[in-house]
A and B are shown apart, each in its own frame.
Chain A
Amino acid sequence: MTKEQCVSTDPLRRKNVWDLTLPEIEYLYSHLHMNSYVYAALKICGESHPPFGKKLKVKQDIVPDFMFDQLSTLTALSEYLADEEPNNVRVHCTYLAYRLMLSISKAAFNDLHSIIRILALTAFIPVLAEKYANFPLWRHRAIREPHPDHLRCYREINDSIDIDSYIRLPFFRDTISEEERIEPTEALFAFMPRAISAIITKIENEGNSEQISTAFMQVEKAMRTYELQHNLGCIGETPLNVQHSGQLRYRNTLYLYGGNHLERLGLYRNAFEWYVRDIYTLHLPTYSGFYLTDFKTCERLIRAFYIHPNERDSTLFHDLLDHMMFQAFLNSAEYAEKIVDYVDTNPEVDITKNRLSRKNGRPMLYSGEAMREIFLISLLYMYYVEKVDFEYMDYSSLFEIQ
């Protein structure tokens, strides 16, 4: 759907992402803004004709032994999707998905492509389990109404942002008071979502593309200046120009969405530069950490890979992407081990929630994105790297459908 065909975006303001038609999804993704994970989830359900509601049997000979049992158990849920008590199915699905993630700890690098394919073909189960239980895939409407907090944050993006002041601007429930002391890294973690969500809201509401590009660059400049001032990494100091791997998280936010914007404008060379900034090094996997951050880093590489024309260059680039994917999978398995241990040893914990509360320690991410992103990143890999269109997902290659 082109902009001309989609005469007004007003109807989209009222729609939840699950209510969008396929042309509307394409329009938003290609012209305004939609998270790639959300896009993949919507497309897999809308275009690939997943075999839900049917009894599925996993074909043993094409699944690595170490994940066969866990995959079979998760797959068995497909039969009950949309029929059984939806929340029950979702809760089961979450736990079984972590068991499957845990099994990846036994994988070797050779298994990577099999695992990606298997997870991509299984993705419809967690996505639909959450859909039927009305668990949010995206926490806001397809197009956000500009909120005064967003508008203010956007207005304050200029050529010389003072990050310490910027993060004190009112921002929904996360407003930081003037008195509260914030460490420099925390300040960057507070700054980036404010600035980027303000910009994205502007994109969704059809702001001026040039001004939006400038805003992204001003955010980058502010971030780099602040990092330099606080010894948080400067160009050439370390392979990734960071002091610690956690910094990749806020940089991913900037460079992924900035890259998406440039790509939509057809500025592929610039988009590539943004997608790979700081992470275009084979040393990247040694800077992996929390798996959701790693997946976001992989997403940047996947998008960069997709728009890169040089074939020979891609050999090592592909290698970089695969090693980062593999490392992210191993890190997700490590996290899954903690989750499964905790759930198994604490029968009283409420596993219907997004986060598992703990008596001693911070809550752990559990349902929703923490569980489903391993499936969604696999879908993105299949689509952008393996070039398998969502409509051509071959479920019968993995399942006997009964």
Chain B
Amino acid sequence: MGINIVEMYEKEHMKRDIPDTPIGSTVKVHYRIIEGEKERIQIFEGVVIARKRAALRSSITVRKVTAGIGVERVFPIHSPKIDKIEVTRLGRVRRSKLYYLRELRGKKARIREKDQY
């Protein structure tokens, strides 16, 4: 007792080189796809609309609009299937969950870039 073994165990399996992906930022997720024998990397680029912070079980929800249809994917960020995550743009947002974007289209669904200081 005393030490939390579950926490210790999760720490061991966590990736250490994951960049910070703040809410509202635009990210490129390099995702490994195994097709039979071959393996390739698919890039999913979109806005981080939600983050779950739970050590090894952490995940991010990335939303993008493809051909007018909104696509959201939940990536467990410590998964070995994720090759790397690139942050291309930081957004200025005032919510921790950007679910309101689902109702917005076009110009209204834009996120202002975060001012750099």
Answer yes or no: do A and B interact: no
Which residues does B use to contact A, with CB under 8 Å?
Answer: none
Which residues does A use to contact B, with CB under 8 Å?
Answer: none
